[in-house]
Amino acid sequence: MTTPAKPDPVALHKALSEAWGTKPGLGQLAAVNHTSIGKRFMVTAAVFFVIGGLLAMLIRTQLATSRSPFMEEGTYAQVFTMHGTIMMFLFAIPMLEGAAIYLLPKMLGARDLAFPRLTAYGYWCYLFGGTMLLMALLFGVAPDSGWFMYTPLSSSTYSPGINADVWLLGVTFVEISALSAAVEIIVSILRLRAPGMSLERMPIFAWYMLVVAGMMLVGFPPLILGSILLEAERAFDLPFFDPTRGGDPLLWQHLFWLFGHPEVYIIFLPAAGMVSTFLPVFAGRPLAGYRAVVVSVISMGFISFGLWVHHMYTVGIPHLALGIFSAASALVTIPTAIQIFAWLATLAHGRPRLSIPMLYVFGFLFVFILGGLTGVMLAMVPFDWQAHDTHFVVAHLHYVLVGGFVFPLLAAAYYWLPHLTGRFPLPQLSKAAFWLIFIGFNVTFFIMHLTGLRGMPRRVHVYPQEPGMELFNLVSSLGSFVMTIGFALVLVDFVLQARFGRHAGRNPWKAGTLEWAMPTPPPSYNFASLPAIDARADQLDPDALGPQLAAGKGYLGFVRHGQMETLAVDPVSGRLEQIIVLPRSTFLPLLTALVTGVFFLLMLAKLYALAPLALLGVAGMFLLWTRATGAREDLPALDAGRGEQAPVHFQSRGAPSEWAMVLTLTANATLYASLLFGGLFLWVSAPGWPAEPTPFKTNVLLQVLALGALAGTLLASRRSLRAGAEGRIGWLAVLAASHLAAAVLFGLMALELVPFNTQHALFAVIFAVYFYAGFHSLLGVLFALYGVWRVLSGHVSAVRDLDLRIGARLHTYAACAGILAVVFVWQLLMLGSGGAPA
């Protein structure tokens, strides 16, 4: 293949725009470009923020007086549940995903993320899931058990309507976007960087997002598992959480907070990462203590998974055990303090410039530090016994989340909006808006600490007519309206900026990161050619680099066969490794998300017999995605520009998609581990264990046969990879048959548990474990047959075996999960029936 001649910048821009652009009109629904999708995430999240904020206004209106007739308690319950749910799941998480999706490729020197169609699919899942929740609110059937959905209140006995189902299904639908973003972000940060950008040259924001995405990958599965189990209890009467049948409400609390606490850091860290990115720009010097910050962020990621019990100090866990979580909760202050002092050191050693973003940084530190200090107070067990579930906690969590996310996010918005719009905001309006928000926020929430200690529990819609309490609540309500006016002004400011702001030009803040080495607003392809990085990527010179890249002097400064190409590097050294050919705009993500939505709607409508058909439809849609990938012939190494060559990704070891499979299975394994943990937890904690003797007998023959079939899949999967062209199909067929046999056997074993699985949680857990194993064997069948199809259609050769290698990861996982299922069930039966296997 010959190197195309280097065109002039204008022709290059036209050719790249032709290849990367999305068609206007309906064609926009097919967009997969990270700039478009990132903006959609952020705008949608902002809309949800407005809705969540209006709900908060309703709450403050109700609480302004002690016996307000404004809302009756059922409506109030829906309002406060939806306020929390929207702010957490539909505003904060999607907003940070959107910011990361928009910024990361630009900061890392790539033209897009690793899996553009997955980004788009995640967006549609978020939009549709969020719409489901909003519709429920409009029709008055919104979730009403509080945003952490404690069961038994959320069980079918005490919440018989569809309200709780809307939460469980809607939020799970939305979380598809969180998991897909997590995979996407990890692979993109580790692989899709500009050549020369080694790990230690990464911009600090990429480090933060790498940790955050890793936390999302293992933080969300416990919640998703909990939601599945609770929905299964509501829909099929499997008593995982029912204390009268061997279940335990505390299992839900553990699963929820195992997610819920890391969630706080998942929200805070991206915001802190943005501060670490732009604060040095305004200090006029690089971030002090880059390494210390990286280490502190990583340690925060780990510690945050050891704190969840501090939401459960009042459930009756032994005090010394609480002591460990109390100490861990105090410990997490240290990495936070390290970051704050790294920022102070940066300012002390620089020449700080005052600006709107720095004004918000002041607001951020003021509010967030107060939230952190009350957090340390709440980490102390005796104090929490008083403050837990009161308005003190409401105040604390708003100080942490608004301080730790909204203030830095607004700072970031003022910093990066010139990038999105190419214009500056209006400084007078921006300042007025800041002070209204800052004063309004503190008036609302500072006094609320006292309201809580004064004895006002959370989630009450009326309270005693005592002078102190009435005055405090009135002050909070007044403050909240001031804050709302501030947010409205910010919105006006943004709209005015987009229309009338003065032009910002390239790199208006004199930053040193790559996202400024492009025209603003950014073109669809980001960089006309990709940079070679020889310094830390927050100390570059975008003013010099930008024109060079625009002139096509970097890597890939050309369009090859109209393809969308970017580069992959070695994750550690940043050495050029692969040329990634990205898929084009397509309606498939939208259509697949629609079919996914049909599944959730069928579940919501309780049409359980039809729901598996929708899942089959989703699988079919995903198979269609693969038609655009790979090639039918082996390609030689391709020209990467700057005199270097690299193989195309589907002929490389460790292609991004293989990494994605490994990461997806990691998330999946976390979900499975949570299920097995759940079974053991019930044995330890739930009332009604060991189970009463039942006539249930395990069928050892089926178990042994299943183990045999699983061993068969392991063997066939290995052989299919090693076999030459002639043997592949045969081994893949054996593989599919073994998976099918295993699936059928797990299905039979699960059927034998009926009806015991509704009588005691022991059998419900075993049923779930068998279901999980059987489901993965079915996935194995799908992947084996997919392999056959790819071989038959000529997409597989000795060097083009990516499809088979991705499959092999799943086959191995399914076999291990199945074997573990059999062993675990054997153990749990022995423990749960008080002695020998039943």
Q: Find the binding residues for another protein in span 806-835 (CB under 8 A).
A: none
**Are the CB atoms for 169 and 230 separated by under 8 Å?**
no
- Rounded to 10 degrees, the C-alpha dihedral 813/816/818/822 comes to -160
Cβ nearer to another protein, comparing 365 with 702: 365
By the rule CB under 8 A, 686 interacts with another protein: yes
**Cβ closest to another protein, residue 176 vs residue 356:** 356
- The secondary structure element, H or E, covering residue 641 is strand 638-641
Binding to another protein by residue 346, rule CB under 8 A?
yes
Ordered DSSP codes for 543-581: HHHHHHHHTT-SBT-S-STT-EEEEEE-TTT--EEEEEE
For residue 579, list its beta bridge partners.
567, 648
Q: Compute the distance between CA of residue 658 and CA of residue 656 in angstroms, rounded to an integer.
A: 5
248 binds another protein (CB under 8 A): yes
Residues near 273 by beta carbon (within 8 Å), at least 6 away in sequence:
204, 205, 207, 208, 209, 212, 297
Q: Which is nearer to another protein, 71 or 723 (CB)?
A: 71
AA identity, residue 329: S
List C-alpha distances in Å: 396 to 92, 378, 390, 406. Answer: 17, 9, 10, 14
> What is the closest distance, in whole angstroms, from the C-beta atom of residue 555 to another protein in the complex?
34
Q: 125 or 379: whose CB is closer to another protein?
A: 379
Residue 319 is a binding residue for another protein (CB under 8 A)? yes
Query: Could you tell me how far CA 535 lies from the centroid of its own chain?
Result: 31
Among 199, 380, 615, 819, binds another protein (CB under 8 A): 380
Asked if residues 476 and 447 have their Cβ atoms less than 8 Å apart, the reply is yes
Identify which of residues 334 and 751 has a Cβ nearer to another protein in the complex: 334
Judged by beta carbon, residue 248 or residue 803, the one nearer another protein is 248
Residues 349-378 that bind another protein (CB under 8 A): 349, 351-352, 354, 358, 362, 365-366, 369-370, 373-374, 376-377
Helix, strand, coil fractions of the chain, as percent rounded to 5? 70, 5, 30
Which CB atom, from 58 or from 491, has the smaller least distance to another protein? 58
Nearer to another protein, 77 or 791 (CB): 77
Site membership for another protein, residue 165 (CB under 8 A): no
Q: Does 344 bind another protein (CB under 8 A)?
A: yes
Under a CB-based contact definition with an 8 Å cutoff, are residues 545 and 209 in contact?
Answer: no
Q: Do 378 and 242 form a contact (C-beta atoms < 8 A)? A: no
Nearest C-alpha neighbor of 771 from the set 753, 759, 755, 786: 753
What is the pattern of x (binds another protein, CB under 8 A) and - over residues 688-707? Answer: x-------------------
Q: What's the token pair of residue 83?
A: 């306020």
Helix (H) or strand (E) holding 739: helix 725-752
Map the footprint of another protein across residues 642-661, applying CB under 8 A. Answer: none
Closer to another protein at the Cβ: 344 or 715?
344
- Judged by CB under 8 A, does residue 431 bind another protein? no
Of 528, 643, 640, 663, the closest CA to residue 577 belongs to 640
Does 255 engage in binding with another protein (CB under 8 A)? no
Examine residue 333 and tell whether it contacts another protein (CB under 8 A). yes
Note whether 153 binds another protein by CB under 8 A: yes
Residues in the chain: 838
Q: How far is the CB of 49 from another protein (least distance, A)?
A: 24
- Kindly state the smallest distance separating residue 25's Cβ from another protein, in Å: 47
383 is an interface residue for another protein by CB under 8 A = yes
Rule CB under 8 A: say whether 389 interacts with another protein: yes
Among residues 120, 401, 411, 456, the one that binds another protein under rule CB under 8 A: 456
CA–CA separation, 834 and 131 (whole Å): 47
CB count within 10 Å of CB 704 equals 12
Stretch that binds another protein, among 300-308, 344-352, 602-610, 614-622 (CB under 8 A): 344-352
Asked whether 729 and 788 are in contact (CB, 8 A), the reply is: yes
Contacting another protein within 127-146 (CB under 8 A): 145-146
Rounded to the nearest whole angstrom, what is the least distance from the CB of residue 41 to another protein in the complex?
A: 31
Nearest Cα to Cα of residue 381 among 455, 335, 320, 336: 320
798 binds another protein (CB under 8 A): no
* 200 part of the interface to another protein, by CB under 8 A: no
Which residues touch 63 (CB under 8 Å, ≥6 apart)?
Answer: 461, 463, 473, 476, 477
# residues contacting another protein (CB under 8 A): 90
The verdict on 342 binding another protein (CB under 8 A) reads yes
The answer to the question of residue 321 lying near another protein (CB under 8 A) is no
Counting contacts by CB under 8 A, is residue 71 touching another protein? no
CB 109 within 8 A of CB 514: yes
Using DSSP's 3-state secondary structure scheme, residue 6 falls into coil
725 binds another protein (CB under 8 A): no
Distance in Å, CB of 123 to another protein, minimum: 33
Does 298 interact with another protein (rule: CB under 8 A)? no
Using the minimum distance from each CB to another protein, give the nearer residue, 441 or 600. Answer: 441
Type and span of the H or E element at 645: strand 644-646
* Closest approach of another protein to the CB of residue 479, in Å: 14
Which tokens sit at 39? 């903006």
Tell me which of 161, 505, 636, 687 binds another protein, using CB under 8 A.
687
What distance, in Å, lies between the first and last C-alpha atoms of the chain? 67
Token pair recorded at residue 119: 């980004």
Residue nearer to another protein on the CB measure, 347 or 753: 347
Q: Is 466 in the site for another protein (CB under 8 A)?
A: yes
**Binding another protein by CB under 8 A: which of 46, 47, 439, 450?**
450
Interface pick for another protein out of 18, 135, 161, 385 (rule CB under 8 A): 385
163 binds another protein (CB under 8 A): no
Task: Give the max Cα distance, the chain.
Answer: 86
| Residue 31 contacts residue 20 (beta carbons within 8 Å) | no
The one-letter code for the residue type at 535 is: A
Number of other residues whose CB lies within 10 A of the CB of residue 373:
13
> Which residues have a Cβ under 8 Å from the Cβ of 483 and sit 6 or more positions away?
436, 437, 440, 441, 443, 444
Q: Which is nearer to another protein, 326 or 480 (CB)?
A: 326
Q: Which of 330, 478, 711, 816 binds another protein (CB under 8 A)?
A: 330
Of 13-21, 129-137, 347-355, 769-777, the segment contacting another protein by CB under 8 A is 347-355
| Residue selected from 386, 573, 699, 793 as contacting another protein according to rule CB under 8 A | 386
Shortest Å, Cβ 90 to another protein: 21
Residue 387 or 640 having the CB closest to another protein? 387
Identify the residue among 27, 160, 323, 708 touching another protein (CB under 8 A). Answer: 323
* List 49, 434, 441, 463, residue binding another protein (CB under 8 A): 463
Q: Indicate the residue among 58 and 376 with the shorter CB distance to another protein.
A: 376
Read off the DSSP letter of residue 390: B
Say how far apart CA 611 and CA 616 lie, in whole Å.
Answer: 9
Place of tokens 């039942």: 694
User: Could you tell me which stretch among 42-50, 185-193, 469-477, 751-759 binds another protein (CB under 8 A)?
Assistant: 469-477
Instruction: Choose between 509 and 650: whose C-beta lies nearer to another protein.
Output: 509
Between residue 276 and residue 295, which ones bind another protein under the rule CB under 8 A? 288-289, 292
Where does residue 55 rank: exposed (0-12), middle (13-18), buried (19+ CB within 10 A)?
Answer: buried
301 forms part of the interface with another protein (CB under 8 A)? no
In the region spanning residues 553 to 592, those forming contacts with another protein, defined by CB under 8 A, are none
Choosing from 471, 495, 544, 637, the residue that interacts with another protein (CB under 8 A) is: 471
